[in-house]
Structure formats: C-alpha cells, structure tokens
Structure 1
C-alpha cells in the first residue's frame, strides 16, 4: 500500500502542487475506506473540460499502441500456430490435442515482445481424465513424460532446447507444465478438469474482442496501468490478466455505468456462442476460427477510449470491493450475502459459481490502486502518461495489510 497520512490526502485535493513525498509519514497508515465519500469526481464537467486535451492525447496513444501491437501479433500468429502443431504432433495421440488459450487466441497481449504460449491439453478419453485426477503418481508420471517429449524436440531444433529444467505443478488447481526455451520463448501446458474453464473463458474474451474495438484498447491501457503499480501480478497473489479483462468487460457491458453500453451481455444476446452448455468440441472450433464475428451488435455509445478510461477509474474508485458481486453473465452487480472486511473480490464469470479472484490480497491492492490513480488524475497526472506511467513509482502496496486487517476498519 502506498505510504501516506490521512491529512495528506485532504491537503492534496486542495493543492495541485503537492506531491506524495511532501507529507510522507512512515509511521502512519492510510486506510482508503476511512476517506469520506463522495469526493471530487473525474467525470465532473469542469474536470473534463480542463483536461480535454490530455484525454484526447490518451485516446491517440492507446489507439496507436493497439495498432502496433495488433500488427506485430498478426505477424507472429502463423508462426506460433505452426509451432503448436509441431508440439502437438510430438506429444499427443490421436485421442488428444493441444488447444491454444489466452492472449494467443484473443489477441489481448500487452507485451509486444512476449514469446509466451499457453496451451490446454484436451483428451476425449474419459478413463484417462478420471485416472489423471484420481491418481497423483500417474499425474506426475504423465506430466514428466510430456516434458521429456518436449525436450527431445531440442535435439532437432536448437531454438527449442530447454534453458532450464521444466517445472511441474501437479497439485495446482489446474495442473501445469512450464517450459522455457533458449530462444526466449516460454510454454505452459495446462491439464484442466473436464469443465475446461480456460477454454470457455478464452472463447468468451475472443468474442468480446470481436464485439467492439474499444474493449481491447481499454484493456491494454488498464492492464498496463495496473502493472505499473505492481498490482497486476498473479504469481504474487494479485490481479491476473483474466481478472483485469473481466473488470473491463463489466464496466463496458453494465447499463448502470454506461448507457448505452459499449459491449453486449453475450450470455443474453448471443447465448448460443457462450453458454456453459456448449459442447467443448464447439468451443474449440470457435477458438480456432480466425474469422469470428458478433452478428447483430453495434454499440450506440460514441465515447472515445480516453473518455471511457477516465470513467472507468471513477467507477472503480468508488466500487465497494467488500460488498458487491460482479456477475458477468447478467451484466449486473448485486450485494453479497455475508460481509467481512477480509473477504475476496467477487467476480463471477459465466462458468463458475465462485469468484475467479481467489486471493485475499486482491481487494486491498485494487482499492488502494484505484484511489491512488484517482487522486493523481484529479491533479492532471497519469492521464496522458501511458504507457510509461512514471507517476506509479510513488505507489506502494503493503501485502501485510490484507493479512492483518486493522480491527477498527469499518466499511
């Protein structure tokens, strides 16, 4: 969490020349929920007029970055699919296959130089799936054999030599084999249960990308922003890329936030494309279809991506992370039944009955980050500094806060 006293935040809103270091007091803790609400707004007309030029610059920067990213992504796509086919031929039988998931399919990659490939192992043998999850020794043996077969590819192609031994996560929620090659590429092969959650959510995000270009643009900006703060880091128990995607989808499809909405509620408008009852073979077919389109949808919302970015920060700055539940399937927010200060951020996608954000750190990090960004933007900072966001250096999140919540904190 960023270190600052409560009195500092009151002063900062009154004095645009103040910097976070001006009143830094390491002995004081600032709890965002202790700040009086509501406060100054980013969507106030005076703010929008005053910073109109910066918002327009932000829109141009995002659009230009997205175009460059998309161009590079398309240049590499054919090469990557050919590599996936080679790997599949090396390790799969006629009863199994490897299906790309994540950004390789959706195009929602933010790092132009990323060489990561995420694959999902799919088998049509029910007995294999049963044994794989029932017997830990068999699971470890099979995953080790998979890595051994991958390592053999390096004998024929120096680019595919391992840079370090493969990593096995047989007891993870989704078992995983992680491999790094000497050419800088990394490969993750997931072995999901028969609900194939990762395949279904990849299909869902791919369709949202096809629905409106402002979704991938806004996601690109928001993920980069959160990453600059250090709170987009799933390996440290913070937000994952999928969490960020769902947060952006919710913002763009909820009519209570944007009316008219930017995105459709696909589970309502196009259930045949995303329903949980869709056979996995059909999901895979859609994932591998490069020409996917959303028929009968065109948003009547004419806001620029820069305008939407400002509204997104305003919305999530005031979002009650310990009270509300985001439902992607219905495009709604509801109040959770139980209320405890340490509960997790509740984001439910259409394929799970529990939150996809399983770490207790996430709500605290997200709330602190949103309040930091909001205060910065009120002073005209962090609006047009994408993609570097040098202001982010002043933010510090203390994970101990989430693990030892002050008993006096009140919502």
Structure 2
C-alpha cells in the first residue's frame, strides 16, 4: 500500500481490501484503455435509463400521504395506541424506481411493554419471548386489517380486487395495493430501535455523498433480477444485501475509496445510529451531514467501470473465510472474530454484518458458487480474450450494451445448494 492509499483510508475511516483492485487493474487495465469511449457511452446509457425509471416526486408524495392516512385511521380506531407509521426502504433512500413497493413499519414499542408485563414473575426462555412478540405483532396486524376493511375513509383508496393480504413469512406483513397502483407492505416493530428506519437514513446519506452509489445499486439490482442473483426465495441475495455489497465495495474495494464510513466520521454528533443501543432519538431525513466530509483524493471511475470492478471484487471473494462489516468499513475473519452472531451463523454461506444490529442480510444466500459463476460470466462479456465454447466458431468481440447486461441470459440456474429455503420476502432498499 502506498502513502496516498493509506492517507485516503485514514481520511475516510475505512480499511481497504485492495488486493482484488490491483488484480483488476492488472487484468482489465488494457481493456479499460482500449474501450474507454465504449465504457463512457455505457455509463451515459445507464444514467439515462435509470433517470427515466427513477421514482418521481409526485409518487413519493403519494406514498407519504398514504402513510399519514394509515396513521390517522389506525389512531381513530385505537386512540390509546402510542405508535408511528414510518416509511422505510428505497422509497425514502433515493434509490427507488417508479412503481416500486412501499415498505411501512408500524412502530409501537408500547406493545413490547405489554408483552414484558405478561412475562413478569414467570420463567420465560428467549425462544418463548420471541414467540410472544410474534403473536403480539400478528394480533396488531389483524386489528389493522379490520380497520382497513371497515374504515370508510381509507376503503376507497384500496384496490379490493387484491384485498388485504396477511403474509406470514419470517417478517409478518399486511400487503395492500392502492387504487393508484402503490403496493404497500405493512409490518409491525415492537423494538425501541427501528432498524429499517436507521438503515434507510444511512443509505440516503450514502446516496447523497456520491451519485454513483445510487446508480451502481440500480444497475446491480436490475442485473441481479435478470440473472436471479437477486432472488432470496431460491438462494440468491435480497435487495438490501446487494445495497450493502455495493456500499462495502465503494468503501473498501476501490482506490481511492468513494464512500466514507459515515457512522464513524460523525460518531460524536449523535446523527447516525452506532448500534441498536446507541442511536439518536429522532431522525430528520431532510437534514444535511453535521459538517462537510474531509477532503481526499477523487476517484474518477465511471459507473460502468465500477460495475466491472464490483463483479471482479465479489466473483472470487472468500465468503467462507471473511465477512463484511459496513459499520467498521472492513472485512473480518469469520473464525477469528469474537462476535457470537457471526460464529453462530457459520452454516450460512454469506455473512454480511448489518450496520446496526446482529442480523445477517446475507442469510438468504444458498447458491454462492452459482452466483459467483454468473459474476464471472458477466465479466467475460467485457473481455475480448475470454474463453468461448470450443465446439462453436469464435465470434468477433462486441462490447456489451446496457440491454446485454440488464437483460442477460445465463445458463446457470440459481437453486439451493443443499440448505432449505426460509420463505423470506425480498427486502427493498
């Protein structure tokens, strides 16, 4: 590592993992130079494509108004409830495309106190407590369902061909579709710390630090959907995990780093949550960072180059040996860590440490070998010297278009590699 790389790391409070980056430069440097114009044209095409698909302001406002209406009608029927209706996910991070789902959390810590009162004086195991919390969440969802089905103020806004569906996956939700086409997933959170809200707040600020973050997330998610890399039900990543992979890559996998470690740069400002125990009591989604970011070297890479670097970084990433920590902006050894949540997840093919709590957004992955094979196939699309099928005539190299990437056909099928699925819904960010 040279002095400039060390300075940039310290400035942005990240610990870079630059071996893949230097290998990338050695392998693809000539291709980047030879096809420089093509890479720039691809980047402009990506930008134009996603600018057209981006969630518009009027759709955002309709989603916020729906949240306000939900809060009002639930309060009208349950005046003793102390709760908030909080929009989370891509709708509020700046990463949403038009007609994307709205994720809403009914945040009601008051209900947790009721559960704890029932536990007083009884010997309750942690598993029994989780069951009681889940039963309370279900009870609240059933009450909300009755409100939606009977309240005359909100009924006209709901598409009753779809109705109000109760989905009892790992996270229980009510799913509604409005008459103007918004699909809304409503969950219940009893914890004082609302993880999804703090995640959304952090991701929103990453998107504001550098426009390439949001664009790269969009490219990776659409490419992931076409190749089934983004397919949590059948062993792929969910949307949130892919966003964290992009975050880690832009913090630690390229030089100079593009994203800083925001949590640690503003650790003493009570602006970002540090954990599920240390967090600001209120968040203002319109507030700027407490002070400007420190000055450091500029990374001039185009988004198409960064997409290629991203694929190279993870195509050979040793997920069995290392896990990703966004909070600490580094990779850590899975066996040498003292963190119990990581050690207890050794059966999981991928461990991505959530920025705030102990859950693993990478837990859905059960087809890692196939996912990394698809990444290598995508990389080969950019390589004029990539191996081809020896039984067919070698075709002239054609630099891939955006459609080639975002509508990529692959012979590799994402299916479970031995571990049963858990029926998880995708998590959007």
**Shorter-chain TM-score tier:** 0.7 to 0.9
Q: For 1:76-123, what per-residue CA distance to the aligned partner results, in whole angstroms no more than 9, with x for missing partners?
A: 21222112111111113461110000011102124x333x21101112
Partners of 1:212 and 1:192 in 2: CA distance = 31
Partners of 1:128 and 1:43 in 2: CA distance = 60
Q: CA deviation at 1:229?
A: 0.3
CA contact 1:361–1:402 (8 Å) conserved in 2: yes
Task: Determine if the alignment matches structure 1 residue 56 to structure 2 residue 40.
Answer: yes
Partners of 1:117 and 1:215 in 2: CA distance = 21
Match of 1:347 among 352, 376, 382: 352
CA contact 1:42–1:378 (8 Å) conserved in 2: no
Q: TM-score with structure 1 length normalisation?
A: 0.76
Partners of 2:135 and 2:351 in 1: CA distance = 35
Partners of 2:25 and 2:407 in 1: CA distance = 20
Q: TM-score with structure 2 length normalisation?
A: 0.73
Aligned to 1:234: 232
Partners of 2:154 and 2:331 in 1: CA distance = 53
Task: Determine if the alignment matches structure 1 residue 109 to structure 2 residue 96.
Answer: yes
CA contact 2:235–2:414 (8 Å) conserved in 1: no
Task: Determine if the alignment matches structure 1 residue 318 to structure 2 residue 316.
Answer: yes
Deviates more, 1:379-388 or 1:192-201: 379-388
Secondary structure at the counterpart of residue 121 of structure 1: strand
Q: CA deviation at 1:361?
A: 1.3
CA contact 1:174–1:193 (8 Å) conserved in 2: no
Match of 1:122 among 107, 119, 124: 107
Match of 1:303 among 301, 309, 325: 301
Partners of 2:205 and 2:316 in 1: CA distance = 29
Secondary structure at the counterpart of residue 366 of structure 1: helix
Match of 2:264 among 261, 268, 273: 268
Deviates more, 1:370-379 or 1:330-339: 330-339
Partners of 1:382 and 1:227 in 2: CA distance = 23
Aligned to 1:401: 417
Secondary structure at the counterpart of residue 401 of structure 1: coil
CA contact 1:151–1:162 (8 Å) conserved in 2: no
Aligned to 2:70: 87
Alignment of 1:321-332 (within 5 A): 321-332=319-330
Match of 2:176 among 157, 179, 184: 179
Aligned to 2:281: 281
CA contact 2:137–2:189 (8 Å) conserved in 1: no
Match of 2:363 among 358, 367, 372: 358
Match of 2:187 among 185, 190, 193: 190
CA contact 1:322–1:363 (8 Å) conserved in 2: no
Task: Determine if the alignment matches structure 1 residue 290 to structure 2 residue 286.
Answer: yes
Partners of 2:151 and 2:179 in 1: CA distance = 12
CA contact 1:57–1:384 (8 Å) conserved in 2: no
Alignment of 1:120-269 (within 5 A): 120-125=105-110, 126-128=112-114, 130=116, 134=132, 138-153=136-151, 158-169=156-167, 172-194=169-191, 195-254=193-252, 257-269=253-265
Alignment of 1:36-55 (within 5 A): 43-55=27-39
Higher RCO (C-alpha 8 Å, min separation 6) = 2
CA contact 1:42–1:314 (8 Å) conserved in 2: no
Q: For 1:343-378, what per-residue CA distance to the aligned partner results, in whole angstroms no more than 9, with x for missing partners?
A: 421111221335221124152343122122122222
Q: 1:65 to 1:294 in 2, by over 3 A?
A: farther
Q: For 1:198-246, what per-residue CA distance to the aligned partner results, in whole angstroms no more than 9, with x for missing partners?
A: 1221111111111111100111111111111012123434211111100
CA contact 1:231–1:239 (8 Å) conserved in 2: yes
Aligned to 1:19: none
CA contact 1:253–1:263 (8 Å) conserved in 2: yes
Q: CA deviation at 1:159?
A: 3.9
Deviates more, 1:293-302 or 1:346-355: 293-302
Q: 1:187 to 1:324 in 2, by over 3 A?
A: same
Structure 1 regions of 5+ residues with no counterpart?
A: 1-37, 405-411
Q: For 1:279-315, what per-residue CA distance to the aligned partner results, in whole angstroms no more than 9, with x for missing partners?
A: 4632xx33xx335347322662222222212211221
Q: 1:326 to 1:279 in 2, by over 3 A?
A: closer
Q: 1:43 to 1:208 in 2, by over 3 A?
A: farther
Q: 1:232 to 1:243 in 2, by over 3 A?
A: same
Q: CA deviation at 1:177?
A: 1.7
